[in-house]
Amino acid sequence: MPTPESRSAARPVAPSARTHLAVRGMTCAACVGRVERALRKVSGVADAQVNFATETASVSWATEVAPDEGLTALLAAVERAGYLAQWLAPDEAPQELVESAWSVWGPVALGALASLPLMLPMLWGDHHFWPAWVQFALATPVQFILGARFFKAGWAALKAGSGNMDQLVALGTLAAWGLSVWLWWRHDGHGGGHAPALYFESSAVVITLVLLGKALEARARRQTTQAIRALQALRPETVCRVGPEGEVEVPLAQVLVDDVLVIRPGERVPTDGVVTEGHSHVDESLLTGEPLPQSRGPGERLSGGAINAEGRLVMKVTAVGGQTMLSAIIRRVVEAQAGKAPIQRLVDRVSAVFVPVVAFIALMAGAWAWWGGLGGEAALIRAVSVLVIACPCALGLATPAAIMAGTGVAARHGVLIQDPQALETTHRVQVVAFDKTGTLTVGQPRVVAWEVASASGTTALTRDQALAMAAALQSGSEHPLARAVLQAAAGMSGIPRMGQLTAHAGRGIEGTLEAPSPTGARPAPLASGQERVATPMGQASDMPDDVWRLGSQRWVSELIPGGVDPDLQALAATWARQGRTVSWLMRRAGEGWQAMAAFSFGDEPKPEAREAVAGLQAMGVRTVMISGDNRGAAEAVATALGISEVIAEVLPGDKADHVHRLQQGEGGKRRIVAMVGDGINDAPALAAADVGMAMANPQGGTDVAMQAAGVTLMRGDPRLVASAIEVSRRTTTKIWQNLVWAFGYNVIGIPLAAMGELSPMVAGAAMAMSSVSVVLNALWLSRWRPRNGAMA
């Protein structure tokens, strides 16, 4: 477990900053409330949330406090409440206690060995099978040695003025043991005689069963933190750093921004950075859920935790420590698992009064039996049974165990849920509003179509020639449309060379042909005074240079005022109505210009987008597109994807207003709206929505969106939206199942115990199984897989 001294230099904790603690010694939901009350009393604390399942506390500060002073005060408060606490880094899960198998299971085994002989007489219904002194000798070590933990924890809670599960176990078993001793003494069975109906076996068996339940519960709870521990394991301990002395292995903690690292095949990427040398594929499945390795080369980003496949990569470090994507993911998973869902508030209120209410019911059950003439023994047995079965462990585990399992399995598959509030709200989403560019579309322009002008004499081009000439003009340009042209022409042979390339701002680019075109030779030199007319591409022209231009509709209108090929102009108009960008390829012809071809650029829908929209609609969720793009482009994409409602030409600052309008609904009935976006301009809308979903964008801007969103989709796959809703629904269902299960044990068991229908031993077994069953039911979520194939 880290200590403050092991970290960097201390600095004041700003208002709203959080401090995380690992809390040891909690045994039930009542302990949670006790620790929370103690932490909230510390000066400067705004709020404190304690999670029983993760054994962690998250403290937010209202005023600035020096870290050492604030941490000391928090640790002291927890200690006064009767527990132990240690500091945790924001991206760290509590370390598992190093315990041998004997320390965990040894007490259970010893308790079973002592309890088994006491249980044998029950098979024959003979309470006189063992002499009283044998029963006493077997039960007493279990009661006071193996059960000492219950007395210690119960006494600490009592001194703090609160109740907990340990008090119920301690009171119940001590009452059974004490009653047996009393009956033995009263019937003078201490000399070897047999006392009638002794209950030493109830005392020993209940403690053994509670110990067994605690061991199984701890084992199951450890499984719920596997998602965090798996992410933490992605950090290598050492890295290969390139320095003046060459390649040297150094600890990861010594790596700084701008260091140069080498990642060999099979090694994990140690931190975030950019590739400077080499090509390879990297496996990012544990970070993003993407099942296929991704190609990486110079200039492309690497995320810490990914596995380098086959090639040697050299990278320049861009982020270290808590600033890396892996740390951000771990931090959000830790915070989500440590937080509380709104339904947990009800459970906390119930748990706060649970122990005194149960103690009262036990007292009344015993008194009623006494007044009913059943005798003191039967009265005490009924009271003990009520105390034993009413353990509130299951109540404390019901909600956090499901949240831990749900957020953990979602994170493994690329859905990062930031807090339990988002998890609990997402399942109620009625409307999903999508941003268009980069969310439903690729986010980069592509050459969607191109066409050449109709043949006019011998001046026409083929489609391949037109694309080759456009690629020649755009060679070396970093403009998005230039990259689209070069991508479309990738793999083509015979692309000519252009010289004297000149950019005309707001219009396009001009170049002179330097090499033979794809279909012919360079033009022959002009003789003195010779004139030439335009000739087919690749043949000599009447101009001294073969000049070409690629530019906008505005430019072609200026250069060719008489208009271009009518068929091509009509096609370009159709493209423009669809919201596409149109560029024209022109060639100088005599004193004027001739339009040779038109290119249509568009942002194509992602391959998975239509399936994502259909999946949401099949779930009964309404889909809307909110885009700043022109209406033609937005409606074209929406039609292709099956979205019927489009809000287009929206300024970034106005998107939040449209989200609010969607929330208002019809007839004043408020609707739950989720907003999905991928960039900085979407942050206000993400914050305004009931659930903001930030989609990873390789072009940047995701970090800002993540801060405003409750859910982060770690891949640019819109199908993850339906997956987030699905996992939220499953998790919410598990929460309610667990609460019904936990309350059901008590609602059914307490009356039965009060009526004398349950012995203390059966009550103890039921109590132990309630906690285990709740955790196992939550862990069933780890088997969840999305139905839409987004994470296959």
HEC assignment per residue over 582-616: EEEEEEEECCEEEEEEEEEEECCECCCHHHHHHHH
DSSP readout, 165-187? HHHHHHHHHHHHHHHHHHHHHHT
Other Cβ atoms closer than 10 A to 219: 13
Q: Please give the torsion angle defined by the CA atoms of residues 719, 720, 721 and 724, in that order, rounded to the nearest 10 degrees.
A: 140
CA distance 390 to 168: 8
The vertex-288 CA angle with 283 and 290, nearest 5°, equals: 60
CA distance 363 to 367: 6
What are 319's strand-pairing partners?
272
Q: Are 240 and 217 in contact (CB under 8 A)?
A: no
Other Cβ atoms closer than 10 A to 412: 19
CA distances from 183 to 64, 118, 233, 366, 581 (A): 62, 17, 58, 17, 95
DSSP, collapsed to helix, strand or coil, labels residue 276 as strand
DSSP, collapsed to helix, strand or coil, labels residue 778 as helix
CA distances from 61 to 87, 239, 780 (A): 15, 37, 36
Dig out the tokens for 15 from the structure.
Answer: 């208002």
DSSP, collapsed to helix, strand or coil, labels residue 210 as helix
- Provide CB contacts within 8 A for 595, sequence distance 6+: 453, 556, 560, 564, 565, 568, 584, 585, 586
DSSP, collapsed to helix, strand or coil, labels residue 268 as strand
Residue 270's identity, in one-letter code, is P
DSSP state of 665: -
Residue of 14, 749, 13, 5 lying closest to 389 (CA atoms): 749
What are 626's strand-pairing partners?
647
| Residues noted as catalytic | 435
CA distance 585 to 459: 13
Q: Are 770 and 394 in contact (CB under 8 A)?
A: yes
CA distance 209 to 769: 9
Question: What is the number of H-type helices and E-type strands within the chain?
Answer: 25, 26
CA distances from 253 to 7, 462, 531 (A): 11, 60, 74
HEC assignment per residue over 55-121: CEEEEEECCCECHHHHHHHHHHHHHHCCCEEEEECCCCCCCCCCCCHHHHHHHHHHHHHHHHHHHHH
774: Cα separation from own chain's centroid: 23
Dig out the tokens for 491 from the structure.
Answer: 């793999």
